[in-house]
Amino acid sequence: MSSQSTTDPRPPRPLDGIVIADFSRVLAGPYATMLLADMGAEVIKVESPGGDDTRSWVPPVRPDGVSTYYAAINRNKKSIVLDFKDPDDLAVAHALSARADIVVENFKPGGLKRFDLDYDSVKERNETVIYCSISGFGSAEGATLPGYDLIVQAMSGLMSLTGDPDGPAYRAGISVFDVMAGLHSTIGILAALRYRSMTGKGQNIETSLLASAMSGLVNQTSAYVAGGVTPNRMGNAHPSLFPYEPLPTADNDLIVTAGNDGQFRKLVEVLGVPELADDERFARNADRTQRREELRPLLVERLKTQSAEHWFAKLNEVGVPNGPINTIAQGVQYAEKLGLAPIVQVGPTGQSVPGVRNPISFSGIEPRYDLAPPALGQDTDEIRSWLAATAAAAYGEK
């Protein structure tokens, strides 16, 4: 059933032959399984008769009416519709979990136990299975809590850091912890595959949005855990660096950063105020950070003499990190200008749809974009037939 034919002249992918039963929905799980599918895994997306929630998360939509949210995270998969309350459908789900190398699910912890699709039940049918459960708040005291990203952004502390110091808290512009949890799940699955190749043993993996948040907040959680400091909202300012924020120019704001003393010296030389690098008030990062309110107007005075585009070019010439605040469209266009080719065509020629490139580049491996995000249940008959043939072959071997 693999999307790569045995006569395919293209080089093999690292996960060719790996079958994933994807019982996940919405974002974290589907994002993880899509990344694995790009690397060759055969991902079978199991959906209820109502389909993945993101199918109805509109607008925006593609020209063919498909939700762009759903399309963003479901390429290279096949879709089967199964109603776990139907005995025949549940039997198919059991057969799929018995055949899969990997099972991914993001039901509430314990939610699949009544269908015998929890880890312990699946392991009885599939001793070496790698089973990854994704939740909002873990499987202990947080098991009953709903795991929406916005709630985790609030409860983790991220929203307390986002926004102006005297303004309301804001969420990030994307479901940042769903994405992090998907990435952490992918790392865990790949590590478990390696472990299984060494020991022959499967693995039960648990990730959660809150655990990903605790790790993903990096210096901010460390400030509290290691330094006893509770960080606060600072708008676009950085608690440990200056300059590291948008600063006004003659027309638009420009992100200007100086991550070390050498970069700061280059910055002020370009701005025409080289003496600031030797000023004892600003010579070291700790000094600049402490005296940011003194330094900011001195930098802004010079930046306002020219356009953002002018400074962008001049600062890049000497290696000072900086950049304009783009729209999403401008960001994609800039990635194209840099040769990152962010847009790919997904699906066979003549039927392909645009998508965003897998962010990982290898020297001798290319991610594939063979299958467009599937319509609800479009592969149900094919998958049922494949499972029946697989079961018959296994029975014949006994």
Active site residues: 178
Type of residue found at 132: C
**73 close to 33: Cβ distance less than 8 angstroms:** no
Question: How is residue 328 written in tokens?
Answer: 């999403």
**268 close to 322: Cβ distance less than 8 angstroms:** no
Distance CA 125, CA 141 (A): 29
Three-state DSSP at 45 gives: strand
Three-state DSSP at 264 gives: helix
Spatial neighbors of 17 by CB under 8 A, at least 6 apart, are 2, 40, 42
**29 close to 185: Cβ distance less than 8 angstroms:** yes
**369 close to 347: Cβ distance less than 8 angstroms:** yes
Name the pairing type of β-strands 203-208 and 77-81: unpaired
Distance CA 211, CA 177 (A): 9
Type of residue found at 194: R
Distance CA 67, CA 242 (A): 41
DSSP secondary structure letters along 71-103: HHT-TTEEEEE--TTSHHHHHHHHHHHHH-SEE
Spatial neighbors of 187 by CB under 8 A, at least 6 apart, are none
C-alpha distances in angstroms, 353 versus 25, 68, 71, 72, 345? 22, 11, 9, 11, 5
**205 close to 130: Cβ distance less than 8 angstroms:** yes
